[in-house]
Amino acid sequence: MAVHSLFHSQPQFSGFMKPCRFEGQVSSLEVRGRIPPAINGVFYRVMPDPAQVPFIENDPWFNGDGNVSAFHVHDSRVDFRQRYVRTEKFVKERQAGKALLGKYRNKYTDAVEFTVRSTANTNIFPFAGKLLACKEDSPAYRVNPRTLATEGLETFNGELPSCTFTAHPKICPDTGEMLCMGYEAKGDGTPDVCYFNVSPEGKVKEVVWLVAPVVALIHDFAFTENYVLFPLIPQTCDLERLKKGGEHWQWDPTIPFYVGVLPRKGAKGTDVKWFRAPNAFPGHTVNAFENEKGDIVFDLPSTDRNVFFWWPDKDGNAPEPSSIHAQLLRFTIDPKTKNLDLPPAEVLSKSDIEFPRIDDRFQGKSHSLAYFDLLDPSLGTDFARIMRPDVVGGGHPVYNALGKYNYKTNKMEAYCAGQTHLMQEPVLVPRSKDCEEGDGWLVALVNNYETMGSELHIVDTKDMSKAVAIVYLPVRLRAGLHGNWVDGWELDMLE
């Protein structure tokens, strides 16, 4: 008889966060409104979705198995498919009929030995005709974009230089190369960072090894024409703590927010400069570019509070979750200066935002629009209904709108899906290959807490006041992390 057969009643496993555990396909989902016929492609996203009941106490919400959703939008219809990534963890645990992987990123707590501990649950990223199911502690798994079948670890023909691979690789719109990095790149607790890039054909090109000033979380990064930027979140790792069965991460409020700046072409690891700013939790990067003076402009959401409040500081201190508020900051960095203390960042918007997206054609270049998940208490959301602890919680991010920030007017427009709705990360679907910046539709999964159902909302970026179409799912999908849009013409190339 199974010892662990019920998910815990903790908030991260209850209400909307109860594991979904569905695999399968449903054609012609219900639609209210009309999906613009010009939308033709696939929205891929991945959610942490424990396939087995964890044996770890209070397992964090994003330690579950990566379950990939694909929404194929065509002819004003949506066909849906969902399938778990067959990671080593998933396969071994399914065979055993129970969880075997221990604590988040602590192999010393596992029930059996794993070669790769990836949950493949953080991003599903299209590259070179395949999808990369990413978890930053491991190499990515390669997934078939049509069937969602797992094809194996992506080692780039055995040339993957790092034992870890970021969940946020970038595509340079000029060269088509994929910019990649791994941190703790020589194993748990190592300060080594590996930057590398991969040609559009999948060949590893440049590899640069750096040493970070602290062993800290580098969840996302950014690039410009001539530089690569590595923002360090002050969640720090200590190997001895891991060996004692402790947590991978511990918040350190005493260290700066470091930004590593590495020349992008022909650099050595010792060329990196680690700039410093006051302690903060930088979120995902919006973008970076070089201005006319040659300075690096770096935009990102950031907060002075520990967003991962379930991993407190060494004394157990953590912020009250509702007090965490990330603003849109702009750092301007002179890459040639010897003064490594950054000038104060400019606050571009005080709105509480995260999960930024820009028009990907402007990656590394000056951009004038950005889209976000947004928390705006003035939008009439019935938080008393939504925020019941049995319905939402456990670190699941709470955003009640999509935000559109216009850099020219400094205005943040909001799309609010309804009084009982929270948003997941949006993707931008360009109106055409050569449309103006940011023009098209936002597509985002929405949690409806009245029906406890999942919906896909499609919003024209030119009119954020309403959705042009709402697609209803017959299954509730748990909070996800990241996703990407693959346009039809790219999909054809993948066949």
Instruction: Give the annotated binding-site residues.
Output: 168, 219, 284, 482
Side chain identity at 215, as an amino acid letter? Answer: V
CA distances from residue 403 to 179, 375, 387, 424, 464 in whole angstroms, order as listed: 27, 9, 21, 12, 9
Beta-bridge partners for 263? 227
The count of other CB atoms within 10 Å of the CB of residue 189 is: 16
Planar angle of CA 362, 365, 366, nearest 5 degrees = 95
Q: How far is CA 319 from the centre of its chain?
A: 22
Across 399-437, b (16+ Cβ under 10 Å) vs e yields bbbbbbbebeeeebbbbbbbebbbbbbbbbbbbeeeeee
How distant, in Å, are the alpha carbons of 226, 234, 343, 409, 420 from that of 365?
Answer: 11, 27, 22, 19, 37
3-state secondary structure of 221: coil
Note the maximum CA span of the chain. Answer: 68
Q: Is 187 left (phi over 0), alpha (psi -120 to 50) or beta?
A: left
CB contact at 8 A, 233 and 281: yes
How is residue 188 written in tokens?
A: 């748990």
Strand order in the sheet with 222-223: 222-223, 227-231, 257-263, 273-277
Q: Write out the binding residues for Fe cation.
A: 168, 219, 284, 482
Q: Are 33 and 468 in contact (CB under 8 A)?
A: yes
User: 49 CB contacts (<8 Å, ≥6 apart)?
Assistant: 19, 20, 21, 64, 65, 66, 67, 84, 121, 478
The dihedrals phi and psi of 78, each to the nearest 5 degrees, come to -135, 125
**DSSP assigned state of 275:** E
Q: Are 438 and 432 in contact (CB under 8 A)?
A: no
Report how far residue 292's alpha carbon sits from residue 170's, in angstroms, rounded to the nearest whole number.
Answer: 23
R_g of the chain computed on alpha carbons: 21
**H helix or E strand, kind and range, residue 78:** strand 77-84
Strand partners, 181: 195
CB atoms inside a 10 Å sphere around CB 338: 6
- How far apart CA 370 and CA 372 sit, in angstroms, is 7
- Write down how long the chain is: 495
